[in-house]
Each structure stands twice: as structure tokens, then as C-alpha cells.
């Protein structure tokens, strides 16, 4: 077994894993905030729809959701599935799944804010949008960072689930090499890559938490 070749192949898979990771965060973080607003809406229909959505996303396996997103267009609308759609389906599946988790984290943070914060902002002449984005949101971000960090670290490991629709991320590449070479070394190297990836994410989130410590009493 050529270690240089193995590392090169795994690095190619790592690039795919990193792409899935960042694109999922890019879409799921803002989508989660929108879903949280729907979950807290005074409109009963909208609130019910978002509750059902969150319940389904959190109550069914991500692997199953990826399969539905990938094969759904064909079985529901008879749309031909292209090879290029595999990666798009992965991003859609991951984004809508993680948005549900982030939505509940956002909701918990927003609802934990004292009512006095809103009343003080109103006295100072802030409108609802200014109150939320200038006063409430920065404090909410501070409160929810530990929970968000846990979800982000889980996301790093969940990228391996892309294999279910044949997207060759790092773990899939490691399994292929391990099977071809009849050795577990590629899997061990992949595990080390995941650990380093998570370590970098954890350190980055720790710095973000330190940045928001000025909100502490």
C-alpha cells in the first residue's frame, strides 16, 4: 500500500466533506432562523406547519431524508435524475435537516430573553426589527453558541452519510481503499482526519464564544 497515494485520495474525499460541511452551514443557519420565526408565529397554520416540519426532520433518520430528496423527484414527478444532482441532493438534505435543529436552538434562545429587553428598546424608540437585530440577536447568539457548537461538530461526522446516495466523501473513499487493500489503515487515517477537522471547528467556535463574553454580567 502506497501511503502517499492513500493520503492523496483521502484528501480528495476530505475536500468533498468540507464542501458539504460549509454549504450546509451556509444554508441551514439562516433557514433555521426563518423556521424559528414560523415556530413562534401567532399564525396558527404557519406555527403548525413548522412544528410538523421540525418533528419530521428530527424524528426520521438523516440517511432516509437524503434518499427521499434524491429519489423523490423521479418517483413523484418522473424527473430524470442526473449524476450532478447527487451533490445538490446532499446539500438540500443536510440543510433542511440541520435547519430544524438550529430552529429549536434559536427558539430556545429567543424565548429565554427577558421581556424587559423588548420594553426598554421600545422606550428608546427602536422598532421591532431594530430591537431584534441590534439588541436581542447578539445576546441570543451568546446564549446558544454551546448548543450550536455541538450541532456543528455533529455535522462534521454526519458528512459521512453522503455515501447513501453515492457521493464520494472522505469516509466513502476510505472504505473503498480499505476494501481494495484489505487493511483498516485508511479508515484509521480517515478517523484522524475527522478528529483534526472537529478540533479545528471546536477551537474556532471557542474563539467565537470568547468574542461574545462581553455580554456576561
pLDDT (tens digit per residue) in 94-141 = 999 999 999 999 999 999 998 888 888 888 888 988 998 888 988 898
How many Å separate Cα 95 from the centre of its chain? 6
The answer to whether 203 and 152 are in contact (CB under 8 A) is no
Instruction: Look at residue 215 and tell me whether its pLDDT is greater than 60.
Output: no
Report the C-alpha gap between 92 and 8 in whole angstroms.
28
pLDDT of 44-92, one tens digit each? 999 999 999 999 999 999 999 999 999 999 898 888 888 889 999 999 9
pLDDT at 170: 92
Tally of residues, the chain: 217
Q: What domains does the chain contain, in order, with CATH numbers?
A: 3-215 (1.10.3720.10)
Cα 7 to Cα 170: distance, rounded to the nearest angstrom: 11
189 Cβ contact partners less than 8 Å away, ≥ 6 residues apart: 6, 7, 10, 174
Contacts of 110 (CB under 8 A, 6+ apart): 36, 40, 136, 140
Amino acid at each position: 500500500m502506497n501511503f502517499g497515494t492513500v493520503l492523496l485520495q483521502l484528501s480528495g474525499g476530505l475536500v468533498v466533506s468540507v464542501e458539504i460541511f460549509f454549504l450546509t452551514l451556509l444554508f441551514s443557519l439562516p433557514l433555521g432562523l426563518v423556521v424559528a420565526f414560523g415556530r413562534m408565529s401567532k399564525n396558527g397554520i404557519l406555527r403548525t406547519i413548522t412544528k410538523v416540519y421540525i418533528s419530521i426532520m428530527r424524528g426520521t433518520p438523516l440517511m432516509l431524508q437524503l434518499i427521499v430528496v434524491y429519489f423523490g423527484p423521479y418517483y413523484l414527478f418522473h424527473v430524470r435524475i442526473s449524476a450532478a444532482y447527487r451533490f445538490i441532493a446532499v446539500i438540500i438534505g443536510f440543510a433542511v435537516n440541520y435547519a430544524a435543529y438550529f430552529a429549536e436552538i434559536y427558539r430556545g434562545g429567543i424565548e429565554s430573553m427577558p421581556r424587559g429587553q423588548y420594553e426598554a428598546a421600545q422606550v428608546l424608540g427602536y422598532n421591532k426589527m431594530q430591537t431584534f437585530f441590534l439588541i436581542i440577536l447578539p445576546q441570543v447568539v451568546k446564549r446558544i453558541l454551546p448548543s450550536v457548537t455541538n450541532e456543528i461538530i455533529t455535522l462534521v461526522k454526519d458528512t459521512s452519510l453522503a455515501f447513501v446516495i453515492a457521493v464520494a466523501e472522505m469516509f466513502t473513499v476510505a472504505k473503498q481503499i480499505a476494501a481494495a487493500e484489505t487493511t483498516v489503515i485508511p479508515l484509521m487515517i480517515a478517523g484522524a482526519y475527522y478528529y483534526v477537522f472537529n478540533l479545528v471547528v471546536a477551537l474556532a467556535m471557542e474563539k467565537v464564544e470568547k468574542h461574545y463574553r462581553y455580554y456576561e454580567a
